[in-house]
Structure 1
């Protein structure tokens, strides 16, 4: 077995080695040579034991350095560890997974929560090439929510948020950009280009590659006018602000506005789904919607939104006409 070495693969460095004539490759998720060398040293130094606990915790130690939401992974593992930690990978069976699932259900946990907990175990084993020794059975993934706002509902929601300018701004700009909640709250004025009418959602820091993808999107006329007004009264670097400071969470104010608008089932994420749905219903090409949302693969967009397009399957239907 040879030592790990660096190799540039599709623009990012990876740790590569040859084992019994087979190449193993793990992405180091950086294009910077110096950072790649540091991550390679950390990666190669991670001790991997024989128990699931040792393997998964080595995986989590790596994620602490590279993942934005590493804390969430550890919280999920905290629940799974008592059941899976003492086992070897080959001792994980469908029956073990089912018993764990049933135990968590009995405590009132939802299928999506249990699935995330099992996914952390599986990801840890796969990260260190131990996953083929285990047999997993996971609860089915939750069906995506189909709820999106009509334009009349959007107007009602914006009107209901009139008392709180930060909530109103969040709603208007989220609908105009399709941005995720975190990306919208992270937006600063230095990334709003009025001259070229562009909004740059990436933070352009060394953690961008660890986040869910963020796009650079054009301002429509509504967003342009709204941002101009906001800029005149800006008291901080952040576009969404309250009392001269950054807004860390919009949930409470948004929920109050949604309730006031008679839309208690609407959450901030539905604004992103609404923006994508409106584009699809206007027959915007899927690859453009994908780029606008920052999806890494057009297929992700198509699975969710193609059915809303007026031209979806129209060619197939026309072929059956006579």
Structure 2
């Protein structure tokens, strides 16, 4: 879509099916022409876009809009499951039965309920984006299986130490150490560069200046043990990345992490378990929820309270005391 001059005013024009379409605008200035042109373009092409905009088209457009954000890569992988089932449908054709059929097929393929919940959540996000961009008028209801109850598995500090000791490669050991010491997500740890490690101030900045990720990241202090580990790694560094291998950045530590797990007696542990364990360790040792939320990079403290308040030593104890009727019992 382009805006041009026409008969002393402005017009909007574009090519459609190999033909050039042009409409004169009422606007008298360029500033007025731009929003009017967008309205005309959307109005005139709406019927055709509704006929052509299948879920697969919206999915591709959404990924393109995400650009270099990590979510774009996630959507690409999720699309391998979603698009064979929903791709050829228009959004208005999606029904509850279609969503339930998808859930059944994924469960039959031995995917977890949590995985299906997430995949359908990505479909919902793409369709809501399409509404926001006025590609469609209304997003259909996407029925998802219930979200699984969060796993209670977390590691004690001695278990984290054992896991670090079981790592066969220095970069895996350092990554696990940083995951626990910063309570950061694995993506933040792999993105970390030395210019954001301030030994003088004693802080680690997990944030990216270009805001490529929507997930909250924090600036956290370094404790003595992680300072020593970082200093050793810095002296041997061959690149700008804190977690490096053969002089370059590391895309994934999953294989190395799983190999370390196999050398320990730990089970039901994932990379995210390390972040969860760090949060539990802070809360259970009396660190205020507000500080823990800041450490985790949560923008909404309600999330921190909902997830971790139950681990606080005195959580609900005052409420329990209110319900104590012992002082009112008569002596028999």
What's the TM-score once normalised by structure 2's chain length?
0.74
Question: 1:39-188 residue pairs with structure 2 within 5 A?
Answer: 49-50=49-50, 53-54=53-54, 57-58=57-58, 60-66=60-66, 67-129=69-131, 130=136, 132=138, 134-161=140-167, 163-188=168-193
Bigger CA drift: 97-106 or 191-200?
97-106
The partner residue of 1:262 within 261, 265, 286 is 265
Partner of 1:26: none
| Secondary structure of the corresponding residue to residue 50 of structure 2 | coil
For residues 151 and 140 of structure 1, what CA distance do their matches in structure 2 show? Answer: 32
Quick check: 1:51–1:86 contact (8 Å CA) kept in 2?
A: no
| Secondary structure of the corresponding residue to residue 145 of structure 1 | coil
| Secondary structure of the corresponding residue to residue 199 of structure 1 | strand
Flag the 1:107–1:251 CA change in 2: closer, same or farther, 3 A: closer
Quick check: 1:56–1:121 contact (8 Å CA) kept in 2?
A: no
Structure 1 unpaired stretches of 5+? 1-36
Partner of 2:25: none
- CA offset at residue 53 of structure 1? 4.7
For residues 65 and 133 of structure 1, what CA distance do their matches in structure 2 show? Answer: 18
What's the TM-score once normalised by structure 1's chain length?
0.76
Quick check: 1:52–1:89 contact (8 Å CA) kept in 2?
A: no
Quick check: 1:60–1:73 contact (8 Å CA) kept in 2?
A: no
For residues 52 and 323 of structure 2, what CA distance do their matches in structure 1 show? Answer: 55
For residues 144 and 45 of structure 1, what CA distance do their matches in structure 2 show? Answer: 43
Larger Rg over CA atoms: 2
Deviations 1:268-289 (A, max 9, x none): 2211111111011012111111
The partner residue of 1:231 within 231, 234, 243 is 234
Quick check: 2:82–2:119 contact (8 Å CA) kept in 1?
A: yes
Count of residues in correspondence between the two structures:
278
